[in-house]
Amino acid sequence: MFTDRLLLLAPRINETGLQLLTAAHARGLPARTATGWRAPQDVPPLVHLYGGPLYADAVGRELGVAALEELPGWLAELPRELTRRSVELLPLAEARALRRRAFCKPPSDKLFAARVYQDGSGLPGPDALPDDQPVLVSEVVTFRREYRLFVLDGVVRTGSRYAVDGELDVAPLAEDPLHREVAAFAADLLAAGAAGLPSAVVVDVGLLAGGGWAVVEANPAWASGGYACDPGEVLDVVLRAAGPLTELRAADRPYCRELPVVTG
């Protein structure tokens, strides 16, 4: 039984959050859903978080949490044999000037819709987001199948299929007919693209319509849905991904989200 730590979930709990509560209680780890968007006072000294960026920003600093996320340019810096498409990290001002079709998304926070834009004129203007806001700009490709992988210390701990031909289609990775190919590509990716990733993270990969495997993106484990992943394994990754700052590993320091000081 743990007496000095707590898994705290954001108020807007989802299916993965419910699974994490069950998995935590099964191993004797106290876990509960927050009742509001302020840091609760009745918590033990060591807190882990699961929830979106808004909740991490609202309470993480006050609770002494280190929230790990991939570096903004990780996807853009991967070799083309892993992305199978051109990917650039651009300031929003340059992205707005694009006069070609591209898939555009914020590197981490959902500051605007991640989708295919016919050109940069559809991106948020300077009145909405600053010119230096980073944007990932990718060549448009079509994924036939997509998979979510929860990674801890460079090893895939659990995985799930989540889409087929762009439609939600969830199944445990082990039940997917291409699970061995997914595992092989993931091993190659983690061997070649570990730089830029924290020790606990989510990586999405997929099979392209034209053939070949490619990285879709990386995401913070503490803000990612588990689909049909094993909840106990997801919990292990989440606990590392957003845990006590006092337990932060030196190698993970470059991947700590800059959490704001919340006043009022």
- What CATH number is associated with residue 162? 3.30.470.20
Output the pTM of the full model. Answer: 0.95
Please check whether residues 153 and 127 belong to one and the same domain: no
Please check whether residues 159 and 213 belong to one and the same domain: yes
Pairing mode of beta strands 155-164, 167-172 = antiparallel
Q: Are 68 and 41 in contact (CB under 8 A)?
A: no
Does a structural domain hold residue 15? Answer: yes
Pairing mode of beta strands 31-33, 87-91 = unpaired
In three-state secondary structure terms, 170 is strand
In three-state secondary structure terms, 122 is helix
Does a structural domain hold residue 77? Answer: no
Structural domain that includes position 172:
141-233
Domain total in the chain: 3
Does a structural domain hold residue 262? Answer: no
Please check whether residues 116 and 183 belong to one and the same domain: no
d(CA 126, CA 142): 30
In this prediction, residue 102 carries a pLDDT of: 96
- How does pLDDT run along the chain (264 residues), one tens digit per residue? 678 999 999 998 899 999 999 999 999 999 999 999 999 999 999 999 999 999 999 999 999 999 999 999 999 999 999 999 999 999 999 999 999 999 999 987 788 999 999 999 999 999 999 999 999 999 999 999 999 999 999 999 999 999 999 999 999 999 999 999 999 999 999 999 788 999 999 999 999 998 999 999 999 999 999 999 999 999 999 999 999 999 999 999 999 999 998 876
Does a structural domain hold residue 101? Answer: yes
In this prediction, residue 1 carries a pLDDT of: 64
Please check whether residues 201 and 153 belong to one and the same domain: yes
Please check whether residues 126 and 110 belong to one and the same domain: yes
